[in-house]
Every structure is written in C-alpha cells, then in structure tokens.
C-alpha cells in the first residue's frame, strides 16, 4: 500500500520568531510524503522569506480571517490528508506518522486530535500552559478539536465555517461528531509555544474571539452556560484537584486569569450579539 500524501497548512501573520522552528520540526518527521503550505495575511516582518528558505509553498492573502486562510490552503493542497497547524507549534518526530496510522485503521476514522504540551517562559505564559496541561493529560472531550483530516470528508462537511473566528475548530469537530464520523487521538506530542506578551494582550484576544461566539453557540445549539463557554464548569479541573493543590501559585494565577478572561469573553459575546458581528 502506498503512503498517502499529507498537506500541512499554516496560517501566518508576522510569525518570523516562530515559523522557522515549526518548519524545522516538519523536516524532521519520520513520515516523508509531506508538503507545507503557508497562507500569509500580509506579514510585515520576514515570515515569507523564512518560509521560502524552508521550501514551503507560500500564498499571500491579506485581510483574511484564520478560517478563510485555512480553507484557501486546503483548496491549494495536493494531499489525501490535511493537517492544520499554528505557527507557534513544534512537532515531535512521529506526529504525522501516527496521524496517518490512526486515520488508516480498519474502523475508518477520518480525523484525529493530537495531544499538545505547552512551552512557556513568562509568568502568564506558564499560567496559560498550566491551564492547558489539564486538557492534555489524556485529552479532554470539552476542549479537544481535530487538526488532521481526510480531505474528502473535510470538504464533504463544508470545511471551516468562514463566519466563525475563534471556535471554528470546535465547530468543525462538532459537525464531524453529529455526522457520526470517528475521531482518533494521537499521543505523539505537538509542543505549543505559548505567546502571552501580557495579561492585557490575552484579554484582548479573548474579547476578539468572543465577538462571533454567538454564531457558534446558535449553530451547534450549545448552551451559553456550559463547559464549552464557562471555564469553571469544566470537570477536568476538579477531577485533578490534587494537581491544583500541589501548585498553589500557578493555580491562583490560573483562576485569576480565567476569571478575567471570562469577563472579557462575556463583553465580546454581548457586543457581537448586539452588533450581529
């Protein structure tokens, strides 16, 4: 059986500090039948030059949201499978090989989620990484979203919803689940290098993503008060209470951060709902 071709799609904007690390990790994959497509949103640094040095296919498309960039990359892709990554990620060597193996199993899985390990340096980065570590212990059905897809199935269900920015990953995964498609879990890690310049920056990002959250909630019939939307309703924190107790400083920082993010998200949600963003 021939090894299927995999297309990696990366949306970028001013990612010169990160993109080289990701592209180097792609070169080190044990699976070789790969192409990398970078869809750039008008970067003003040397992101594009770095991508070209690493032989990635680069497409310049200014003023496009992430969902639009991803769908465009998928249209340009040549692979049987699509793998969507962010520029601040780094792959362990066997990620793609394991994705292909999982999705080719006899039970006909057509998508995969990949466990992530956060990498952080500043206090707020470490705090955000601490939060994500709860979701990535064994995966978490509340927050997990597929990244690796069979291309035909990806287009069959419509790709990413270009009217949603932020929870578009969840939206696509929810549609797969409703159609009874099977989604596997890959244990080979993605290292996610957290980018949190400041707490204010984090809150602005949360506000921006929440502007179109009402579209996701309405479309997927998700309650406004649910574990998807309210951090403090997520069972994974309470199931791992020993971890919270053993890391008091990070736990306090995390719950402070989540409380403020919740507020920023609520404001964004209400503004988006009123303005019909």
Q: What is the mean pLDDT of residues 246-264?
A: 97
Q: What is the mean pLDDT of residues 7-18?
A: 96
Q: Does 239 map to a domain?
A: no
Task: Calculate ∠ Cα 46-19-15, nearest 5°.
Answer: 55
Q: Does 114 map to a domain?
A: yes
Contact 96, 109 (CB under 8 A): no
Q: Does 247 map to a domain?
A: no
pLDDT reading at 176 higher than 80: yes
End-to-end CA distance of the chain: 48
Q: How far apart are CA 108 and CA 120, in angstroms?
A: 36
Q: What is the pLDDT of residue 43?
A: 93
Which residues does 58 contact at the CB level (< 8 Å), separation at least 6? 37, 38, 40, 48, 51, 52
Torsion sign over Cα 138, 159, 12, 271: negative
Greater confidence (276 vs 170) lies with 170
**Rounded to 5 degrees, what are φ and ψ at 15?**
-110, 30
Mean residue pLDDT of the chain comes to: 93
Q: Does 47 map to a domain?
A: yes
Greater confidence (242 vs 142) lies with 242
Q: What is the mean pLDDT of residues 58-64?
A: 85
pLDDT reading at 1 higher than 60: no
Range of the domain at 171: 6-197
Q: Does 219 map to a domain?
A: no
Q: Name the band, by pLDDT with cuts 50, 70 and 90, for residue 276.
A: confident
Overall domain count for the chain: 1
135-138 long-range contacts, CB within 8 A, separation 24+: 135/236, 137/236, 137/240
Return the percentage of the chain with pLDDT > 70, whole number: 98
What's the CATH number where 76 sits? 3.90.550.10
Q: Does 34 map to a domain?
A: yes
């Amino acid at each position: 059986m021939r090894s299927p071709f995999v297309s990696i799609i990366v949306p970028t904007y001013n990612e010169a500090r990160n993109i080289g690390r990701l592209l180097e990790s792609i070169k080190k994959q044990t699976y070789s039948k790969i192409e990398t497509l970078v869809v750039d949103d008008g970067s003003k640094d040397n992101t594009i030059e770095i991508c070209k040095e690493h032989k990635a296919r680069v497409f310049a498309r200014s003023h496009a949201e992430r969902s639009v960039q991803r769908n465009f990359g998928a249209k340009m892709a040549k692979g049987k499978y699509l793998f969507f990554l962010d520029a601040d990620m780094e792959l362990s060597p066997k990620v793609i090989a394991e994705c292909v193996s999982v999705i080719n199993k006899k039970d006909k899985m057509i998508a995969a989620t990949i466990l992530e390990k956060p990498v952080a340096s500043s206090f707020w980065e470490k705090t955000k990484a601490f939060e994500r570590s709860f979701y990535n212990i064994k995966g978490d059905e509340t927050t997990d979203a597929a990244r690796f897809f069979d291309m035909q199935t990806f287009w069959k269900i419509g790709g990413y919803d270009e009217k949603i920015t932020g929870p578009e990953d969840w939206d696509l995964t929810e549609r797969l689940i409703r159609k009874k498609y099977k989604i596997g879990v890959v244990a080979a890690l993605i290292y996610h290098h957290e980018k949190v310049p400041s707490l204010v920056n984090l809150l602005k990002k949360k506000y921006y993503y929440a502007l179109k959250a009402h579209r996701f909630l309405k479309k997927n019939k998700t309650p406004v008060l649910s574990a998807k939307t309210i951090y403090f309703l997520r069972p994974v924190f309470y199931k791992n209470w020993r971890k919270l107790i053993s890391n008091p400083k990070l736990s306090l920082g995390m719950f402070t951060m989540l409380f403020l993010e919740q507020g920023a998200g609520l404001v964004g949600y209400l503004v988006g709902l009123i303005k019909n963003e």
